[in-house]
């Protein structure tokens, strides 16, 4: 397994600390008046999602994490697990509800996602940034209530609940941002 020296530190680097994979999502270089340069890093634990701050002196190194990301198709839900298939080698991977987090509320069968694997074990899934989902249930809109800033809770076909404008009806298709869980716009029915 390779290593990264401090001059290779950058945002997006996947490293291993004490046998656990981390994602370096922020890195600041600081050169004090005296002494060696410092690299201040914010690292996210890829297994638990916790964040830690670490400072490294110039010349230090970190072990690279054997983390792989690939396109995978969401196949089905099996009890508490979500089953995905790698689009390249057709290998199947299962992720738990905990590993899926809120993103699991916005995916439906046959949707392409990014799956992250560490040490041949799936650890996380990233859905597309925007998905188009159908409204399964919502309260009917009040007549004459066409103000754009009025919103109401809406239940989508995947079971997710979001806030949408008051003019949305059952059966409408909505574009939703999976990162924030927010309504973007009404959409046309996706082609199968």
Q: Kindly tell me the burial class for residue 154, based on how many C-beta atoms sit within 10 Å of its own C-beta (0-12, 13-18, 19 or more).
A: buried
**CA nearest neighbour of 106 among 38, 177, 53:** 177
**CA nearest neighbour of 116 among 137, 143, 138, 86:** 86
93-140 confidence digits (pLDDT tens) = 999 888 887 888 888 899 999 998 888 888 888 888 898 888 888 887
In order of start, what are the domains of the chain with their CATH numbers?
A: 3-64 (2.30.30.30), 67-126 (2.40.50.140), 130-187 (2.40.50.140)
Residue 30 pLDDT class (50, 70, 90 cuts): confident
Q: What pTM was estimated for this model as a whole?
A: 0.74
Check residues 175 and 149 and name the one with the higher pLDDT. Answer: 175
């Amino acid at each position: 397994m390779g290593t990264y020296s401090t001059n290779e530190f950058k945002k997006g680097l996947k490293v291993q600390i004490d046998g656990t994979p981390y994602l370096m999502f922020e890195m600041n270089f600081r050169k004090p008046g005296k002494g060696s340069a410092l690299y201040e890093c914010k690292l996210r634990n890829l297994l638990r999602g916790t964040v830690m701050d670490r400072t490294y002196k110039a010349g230090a190194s970190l072990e690279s994490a054997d983390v792989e990301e690939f396109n995978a198709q969401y196949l089905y839900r099996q009890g508490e697990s979500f089953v995905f298939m790698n689009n390249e080698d057709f290998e199947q991977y299962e992720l738990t509800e905990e590993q899926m987090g809120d993103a699991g509320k916005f995916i439906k069968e046959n949707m392409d996602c990014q799956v992250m694997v560490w040490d041949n074990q799936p650890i996380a899934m990233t859905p597309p940034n925007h998905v188009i989902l159908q409204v399964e249930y919502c309260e009917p809109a009040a007549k004459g209530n066409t103000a754009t800033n009025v919103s109401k809770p809406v239940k989508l076909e995947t079971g997710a609940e979001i806030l949408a404008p008051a003019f949305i009806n059952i059966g409408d298709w909505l574009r939703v941002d999976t990162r924030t869980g927010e309504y973007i716009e009404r959409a046309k029915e996706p082609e199968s």
